[in-house]
Amino acid sequence: MVDASTSAHGDLTLKNLTKNFGDFIAVDDLDLVIPEGSFFALLGPSGCGKTTTLRMVAGLEEPTSGSIFIGNTDITYEKPYKRPVNTVFQNYALFPHLSIYENVAFGLRRRGVKDVDTQVQKALELVELTHLSSRKPNQLSGGQQQRIALARAIVNRPALLLLDEPLGALDLKLRRAMQIELKWIQTEVGITFVHVTHDQEEAMTMADTIAVMNEGKIEQMGSPADLYDDPRTAFVANFLGQSNLIKGLITDRADNSGIVDVFGTKLSLPTIRNHAHDSSVLLGIRPEKIRIAPAGAAMNGNILDGGVISDASYIGVSTQYQVEMPWGQELMVFEQNDDGTPPLAKGDPVVMSWEPIFTFGLAGDQDATAGSEANPDSE
Amino acid sequence: MKQVSRWFSRNLIRIYAVLGFTYLFIPIIYTIAFSFNASTKSNLVWVGFTWNNWLNPCGAPDVCNALGNSLKIGVLATFFATILGTLMAFAMGRYAFKGRSIVNILIFLPMATPEIVMGASLLTMFISFGFNPGFWTIVIAHVMFCISFVVVTVKARIASLDPRLEQAAMDLYADERETFRRVTLPLVAPGIAAAALLAFSLSFDDFIITNFNSGDVNTFPKFVYISAQRGLPPQANVIGSSMFLIALIIVLVGQFVGRKRTGVR
């Protein structure tokens, strides 16, 4: 059964990939190259088209238009069983009537591989579940089932492993452990992993490269640090972690940095992090980058004065403040509880500052709250 | 007095269960008990205990011929009804086609039609087609009314099947045929088995439709009905009791196997 398409390998390339369900555009003219051997995450809120994209790569959904390549082989309309692609399904989809051993051996047997036993044992060793090989899937815990689903896919040594919200059904502690394990396994086997998730922390922990998807399009792609430190759109800034986005006007441009007028205060914005098309800008700063002190304290860097604390919550490692600014906006500040000073209280007038290098600028014509309602962390 | 009423209210469900089961099982106990009755002509009055009926189940004239016919008809009807019904269930459960909702309703009609009406109209149909009622008209009639039950039973099983399992099989290099053989069929099999058992018991048990369409072929229910007027031989009770015991064993074995499979202890 081994032919050109099942043995294809190389980068995964999506060209103008589009999928419509009736009038609804699930995936909108997607162009994407996922390098061979990388751990790639498609991150986005539910309904953003990430799972549909994955299913088209797996061959479980036919694209409306566009094409999918692995290396130089076009697999756009290839049957799922003829693709060098295996999937770890959201609820694992282990065959309930087969033993764990037979579940893992399933793909090998269908391809007529010779040394099934050796390979199954190796895969079970990789996920450390050799002792469960004669059990049935429903005798296993969720975490064990998850690892068997992974072994069942990896044993086939596909060019591409697709993971559809693989950790969604596990509890938080197990999910953390599995994140580390998945990352380790990917490094171990060297297969390209494409991981679909709505959990930004999961994506950031595991992936080399993250593509943030929204409404069928990729908003931004890059390393976790790139996306976090230098978001290009309000959606990315709010969906990946939390951001303070303040309306402003660029009044002065120099080579390295510009000056932004924010309700009368002049703040510095590094030119490489300015993504506004014109002088209208949303000035962004992450809450944990901001230093906060009682009004009148000496500060340097970008300084915002005149705020009043409207809410303070002490959460152990840090204290989270809501600071109401003179123009009515509430800014978020996360302050590490590491300097022995007592937390500020509600109603205290404060001054805030941060290193100008952490500032980023987004196009001023977008909704400053885009993506924040979709972020499960910002509830 | 207070204690009595408290005991009563605490055990109400148990008392109710005992009463319910007594009501359900008394007729069966009677059937079994009277299979040991040493009666000669009519099996309505207790005469005395004997093993003779069990040692000689074919003792009454024509009883084993009738039983043989019922078993043959039951097996044939089950075979055809299960195959046809399963295919229909897959078509209706898996594929969207024009008129599917109408077919879904039509499949219920044979179950809702009074048997007496169906029996009579089947006879009319067979005669107008020029078929003589006999063994094969019974089989055709039985297949017909069993199909609906098979379709409904198998379709329920198919509906409960997670489509991702088949997608996972396809993802793991199984083509359409292999996916059906290795995943779909084994998972639907318990539903098909249940449908086959149901079809067999419906066929074996049927009197009304059979009576219309059997001509001079005798089946077990027909035998019981006819001999009841002259005096039922105890062999009928022997066969009835055996069927009950066989069914009981099948259910128990099924439970045991099911438990072993799912690992519930």
Output phi, psi for A281, to 5 deg.
-140, 150
Q: Tell if the CB–CB gap between A93 and B263 is shorter than 8 Å.
A: no
Q: Does B263 touch chain A (CB under 8 A)?
A: yes
Q: Are B162 and A93 an interchain contact pair (Cβ–Cβ within 8 Å)?
A: yes
* CA–CA min distance A285, chain B (Å): 43
CA distance A273 to A269: 7
From B19's Cα to the closest Cα of chain A, the distance in A is 38
Q: Is B260 on the interface with A (CB under 8 A)?
A: no
Contacts of B168 in chain A (CB under 8 A): 87, 89, 93-95
Calpha distance A249→A283 (Å, rounded) = 9
Asked whether the CA dihedral A39, A132, B168, A46 is positive or negative, the reply is: negative
DSSP 3-state of A86: strand
Q: How far apart are CA A1 and CA B173, in angstroms?
A: 9
Contact at CB, B173 and A96, closer than 8 angstroms: no
Q: Could you tell me how many residues make up chain A? A: 379
**b/e A122-158 (16+ beta carbons within 10 angstroms → b):** ebbebbebeebbebbbeebeebbbbbbbbbbbbbbbb
In this complex, do B168 and A95 lie within 8 Å of one another by their Cβ atoms?
Answer: yes
pLDDT per position as a tens digit, A272-328: 999 988 889 999 999 999 999 998 888 889 999 989 999 999 888 889 999 999 999
Q: Is B175 on the interface with A (CB under 8 A)?
A: yes
- The reply to whether residue B262 touches residue A136, judged by beta carbons under 8 angstroms, is yes
DSSP state of B162: -
**Are B167 and A93 in contact (CB < 8 Å)?**
yes
Helix (H) or strand (E) holding B240: helix B234-262
pLDDT in tens, A171-207: 888 888 888 888 888 888 889 999 999 988 889 989 9
**Structure tokens that stand for B204 in this block:** 């074996």
Residue B165 contacts A where some CB pair is shorter than 8 Å: yes
ipTM of the complex: 0.81
Measured between beta carbons, the chain B residues lying within 8 angstroms of A194 are none
pLDDT band at A6 (very low <50, low <70, confident <90, very high): low
Nearby residues of A85 by Cβ (< 8 Å), 6 or more positions away: A57, A58, A59, A70, A75, A158, A159, A160, A161, A162, B171
Kindly state the percentage of chain B with pLDDT values over 70: 97
Cα separations in angstroms, A144 against A11, A77, A157, A196: 31, 34, 20, 20
Which residue of B161, B165, B170, B171 to mutate against A (max A Cβ within 10 Å)? B171
Place of tokens 């030119």: A271
Out of A87, A89, A138, closest to residue B262 by CB: A138
Q: Which of A97, A106, A139 sits opposite B172 (nearest CB)?
A: A106
- The two tokens of residue B13 are 């469900």
Of A120 and B42, the structure prediction assigns the larger pLDDT to A120
pLDDT of residue B264: 43
Give the pLDDT mean for B19-41.
89
Q: How far apart are CA B245 and CA B249, in angstroms?
A: 6
Judge: A81–B162 Cβ closer than 8 Å, yes or no: no
| B141-175 pLDDT, tens digit each | 999 999 999 999 999 999 999 989 999 999 999 99
Percent of chain B with pLDDT over 90: 53
DSSP annotation string for A265-314: EEEEEEGGGB--SSSEEEEEE-GGG-EEEETT----SEEEEEEEEEEEEE
Q: pLDDT per residue over A211-240, tens digit each?
A: 999 999 999 999 999 999 999 999 999 999
> Can you list the domains of chain B with their CATH numbers?
2-52 (no CATH), 61-232 (1.10.3720.10)
Alpha-carbon distance B184 to nearest alpha carbon in chain A (angstroms): 10
Query: Distance from A215 to chain B by nearest Cα, in Å?
Result: 25
User: Token digits for A345?
Assistant: 């209280």
Mark yes or no for CB contact A107/B187 under 8 Å: no
Tell me the per-residue pLDDT of B200-219, one tens digit each, with 9 for 90 and over. 999 998 999 999 999 889 99
Question: Helix/strand/coil (H, E, C) string of B104-151?
Answer: HHHCCHHHHCCHHHHHHHHHHHHHHCCCCCCHHHHHHHHHHHHHHHHH
Distance from CA of B31 to the nearest CA of A (A): 40
From residue B181, how far is each of A137, B162, B187, B239 by CA, in Å? 20, 16, 10, 38
C-alpha B205, offset from chain centre: 7
Residue A275 distance to chain B (closest CA, Å): 42
Task: Please report, for residues A15, A83, A85, A196, A373, the alpha-carbon distance to residue A27 in angstroms, rounded to integers and kept in the order given.
Answer: 12, 21, 20, 14, 21
| Domains, chain A, with CATH or none | 12-226 (3.40.50.300), 230-378 (2.40.50.140)
- Could you give the CA distance from residue B189 to residue B174 in angstroms, rounded to a whole number? 19
Q: How far apart are CA A15 and CA A31, in angstroms?
A: 5
Q: Rounded CA gap, A320 and A334, in Å?
A: 5
Task: Kindly list the distances between the CA atom of residue A372 and the CA atoms of A52, A220, A239, A288, A377, in Å, as whole numbers in the listed order.
Answer: 23, 16, 6, 17, 9
- A&B contacts, CB < 8 Å: 69
Instruction: Answer for the pair A199, A374: CB distance below 8 angstroms, yes or no.
Output: no
Taking the C-alpha atoms of residue A319 and residue A340, their distance in angstroms, rounded to an integer, is 12
What pLDDT, on the 0 to 100 scale, is given for residue A377?
Answer: 47
Q: In sequence order, what DSSP letters do the residues of B35-96 get, joined into one string? A: TTB--SS-SSS---B-SHHHH-TT-STTHHHHHHHHHHHHHHHHHHHHHHHHHHHHHHHH--
pLDDT at B262: 56
- pLDDT digit string, tens, across residues A76-119: 999 999 999 999 998 899 999 999 999 999 999 999 888 999 99
- Residue A378: the pLDDT is 40
Is A97 in Cβ contact with B262 (below 8 Å)? no
Chain A neighbors of B164, CB-CB under 8 A: 89-91, 93
